[in-house]
Amino acid sequence: MPLLSLANVTKAYGGVPALRGVELAVGPGEIHALMGENGAGKSTLIKILAGVVAPDTAEIRLEGTPARIDSPRQAHRLGLRFIHQEFNVVPALSVAENIFLGRAYPRRAGAFVDWRRLNLAARETLGKLGITHIDPSWSLGSLTLGDQMLVRISSAFIGEEGAPARLYVLDEPTAALNRGEAERLFTVLRELRATGASVLYVSHRLDEVMATCDMATVIRDGRSVDTGKIADITHDDLVSLMIGRRVEEAYPPATAAPRSETVLSVTHLAIRGGRPVSFDVRAGEVLGIAGLENAGQRNLLRTLFGDLNCAGGTMRLTGQPFRPRNPTDAWRAGVSYIPRERRSEGLIVSRPIFENVTLPHLSAQSRWRALLTPRREMRLAAEQGQRVRLKAAGPRQRVRELSGGNQQKVVFAKALAGQPRLMLLDEPTRGVDVGAKFDIYALIREMTARGMGVVLASSDLPELIGMADRIAVMREGAITDIVAAEEIDEERLVNLCYGRVTG
Ligand SMILES: Nc1ncnc2c1ncn2[C@@H]1O[C@H](COP(=O)(O)OP(=O)(O)OP(=O)(O)O)[C@@H](O)[C@H]1O
Ligand SMILES: [Mg+2]
């Protein structure tokens, strides 16, 4: 008998169906992948199970017994634990406070929070994920994104009285994790499985799903498409079930070689916490940036975008001296930036799509203000949305109502609407589905074909090798090598990132 079974789950938002009769059965002691492209309905299904969203119809059974879940408390009491896709943390609070967010803190004499016990309990919870490098008393905001995610994940594993956890539901937990951190999480998931608990797991990283999950259920456009054992399906078949067509697992080839003009030229540029770097990006070129987590990639991009001030060195953009004091300066000069944490850094989620797409252009390029009538504004937003294959009801829809992957596409639409000369991309394909990944690669090719220069920082090494012309390797805040992408393979690139010399 399945541990959890869902049948006939439907949900419409304002008349638009998000789920149209989904079925799902998770057995005991299994890691079950829930797969589907951006906007398929995965998070909606999970929120229904968590008692966060009310379904229109749903039959939920736990070990055969019909269950009603109309609040998060109730889901918790039934032994269900959730890590949702959206960040739900308070950066100003400590790690320990965030772990226990929304739960009873240990108290002393009934009223005062017992901080010592709270920190001890937090340390113990982190310990379950093998995390010892994070002090529970630190403020969460001071941690790297990966560490913040680990803290969030660990909150699902709080040891507690009451109903023991039987099912852990994780909605894209690894989107902000590096390989090592993700491996640590998988080890914990396997341990949980060994104790008989089950895991429902959402990820767009197929290799991870193939390696870690036992079963998979695929949904498309709010309907269940298929379910079965991971061992019985190939990677390619899984992809075609998800997106309803076959994709060539290849990076689109460049249509032309980079041109001779230089778009960006950087000489002895001082970056925060690093050493001076020098490099060029030519028109039509993709310069990849490789490196281990926190090797300086992010600060480099932020310096180029004027988000961090550069303390020395020179930059030239199409030959002109370029020294942005803030992101608006950089925008004006023709530089677009797609930050890694798109939802928090790149969007105003309470506002409609069209405002998010056109707003930076209205404020950065005052001469546009007169040109941008509401009709043009709407058309620009719709055009850019189509370019990135945005799945939305229309340009007036609020960004908050979009699926996670589609929110990211809004950031792309916004970046492209400015017709930049240089595009800075920080992990552009994190959290996007396989189909959308290829759309993004095609967009990058389209940008370079038009003579744009692209800087692509990515931890996905095949992606760097497949898309970049040259790859700059960063280590401890410095560029240690610049190699032609054609002449390198994954293994050598890894070795360069670690600073291991190869023959
Ligand atoms: N609050 C809401 N209001 C209106 N529409 C919504 C709302 N939440 C979700 N939707 C819509 O429901 C559909 C399913 O979204 P959902 O977030 O479940 O997708 P997903 O499979 O999790 O995608 P992703 O992989 O991008 O996270 C989308 O079309 C989305 O726009
Ligand atoms: Mg989602």
| Helix or strand run (H / E) with residue 481 | strand 478-484
Residue 220's alpha-carbon distances to 35, 102, 103, 240, in angstroms, are: 9, 33, 35, 11
Among all bound ligands, the one having the nearest atom to the CA of 433 is: 1
* DSSP designation for 109: T
Give the start-end residues of each E strand in 300-441.
314-317, 320-321, 335-338, 422-426
Residue nearest to atom 6 of ligand 1 (CA): 401
Q: Classify 413 as helix, strand or coil.
A: helix
Neighbours of 375 (CB within 10 A): 8
Q: Tell me if 4-243 shares its fold with 261-334+420-503.
A: yes
CB of 203 within 6 A of ligand 1: the answer is no
Residue nearest to atom 10 of ligand 1 (CA): 401
CB of 18 within 6 A of ligand 1: the answer is yes
From 47, 172, 401, 437, mutation site for ligand 1 pocket: most ligand atoms within 8 A of C-beta: 401
One digit per residue, the tens of pLDDT, for the chain of length 503 reads 999 999 999 999 988 899 999 999 999 999 999 999 888 999 999 999 999 999 999 999 999 999 999 998 899 889 999 988 776 677 788 998 888 876 666 666 666 677 888 888 899 888 887 888 899 999 988 888 778 888 888 888 776 655 678 999 999 888 777 778 888 889 888 988 998 899 999 998 888 899 999 999 999 989 999 999 999 999 888 888 888 776 665 788 888 888 989 999 999 999 888 899 999 999 999 999 999 878 899 999 999 999 998 888 999 999 999 999 998 899 889 999 988 876 667 788 889 998 888 876 665 544 555 556 777 788 888 888 888 888 888 889 999 998 888 888 888 888 888 789 999 999 988 877 877 888 889 889 989 998 999 999 998 888 999 999 999 999 989 999 999 999 999 889 988 988 876 54
Q: Are 66 and 250 in contact (CB under 8 A)?
A: no
- For residues 291 and 123, what is the distance between their CA atoms, to the nearest angstrom? 30
pLDDT for 104: 65
pLDDT for 347: 86
Secondary-structure percent of the chain, ordered helix, strand, coil, rounded to 5: 35, 25, 40
Q: Domain 261-334+420-503 classified CATH 3.40.50.300? A: yes
pLDDT for 498: 85
Residue nearest to atom 27 of ligand 1 (CA): 404
Ligand 2 centre distance from Cα of residue 405 (Å): 7
| Domain chopping of the chain, boundaries | 4-243, 261-334+420-503, 347-419
CB of 383 within 6 A of ligand 1: the answer is no
* DSSP designation for 248: -
- For residues 39 and 50, what is the distance between their CA atoms, to the nearest angstrom? 18
- List all residues 6 or more positions away from 285 whose beta carbon is below 8 Å from its beta carbon: 258, 259, 263, 448, 453, 454, 469, 470
Can you read off the two tokens belonging to residue 406?
């589609």
Q: What are phi and psi of 270, to 5 degrees?
A: -85, 125
Q: Are 411 and 338 in contact (CB under 8 A)?
A: yes
Residue nearest to atom 18 of ligand 1 (CA): 41
Q: Are 453 and 284 in contact (CB under 8 A)?
A: yes
- For residues 409 and 400, what is the distance between their CA atoms, to the nearest angstrom? 13
State which ligand 1 atom lies nearest to the alpha carbon of 403.
17
- For residues 17 and 478, what is the distance between their CA atoms, to the nearest angstrom? 50
Ligand 2 centre distance from Cα of residue 427 (Å): 18
Among all bound ligands, the one having the nearest atom to the CA of 205 is: 1
- For residues 89 and 91, what is the distance between their CA atoms, to the nearest angstrom? 6
- For residues 19 and 434, what is the distance between their CA atoms, to the nearest angstrom? 21
pLDDT for 503: 44
Q: Domain 4-243 classified CATH 3.40.47.10? A: no
From 10, 11, 13, mutation site for ligand 1 pocket: most ligand atoms within 8 A of C-beta: 13
pLDDT for 134: 92
| HEC sequence for 55-103 | CCEEEEEECCEEECCCCHHHHHHCCEEEECCCCCCCCCCEHHHHHCCCC
State which ligand 1 atom lies nearest to the alpha carbon of 85.
27
Ligand 2 centre distance from Cα of residue 195 (Å): 28
Residue 148's alpha-carbon distances to 136, 140, 175, in angstroms, are: 12, 6, 12
CB of 405 within 6 A of ligand 1: the answer is yes
CB of 39 within 6 A of ligand 1: the answer is yes
* DSSP designation for 139: B
From 35, 220, 403, mutation site for ligand 1 pocket: most ligand atoms within 8 A of C-beta: 403
Can you read off the two tokens belonging to residue 148?
């913040």
From 22, 37, 38, 44, mutation site for ligand 1 pocket: most ligand atoms within 8 A of C-beta: 44
- List all residues 6 or more positions away from 269 whose beta carbon is below 8 Å from its beta carbon: 276, 277, 278, 300, 303, 310, 312, 313, 314, 315
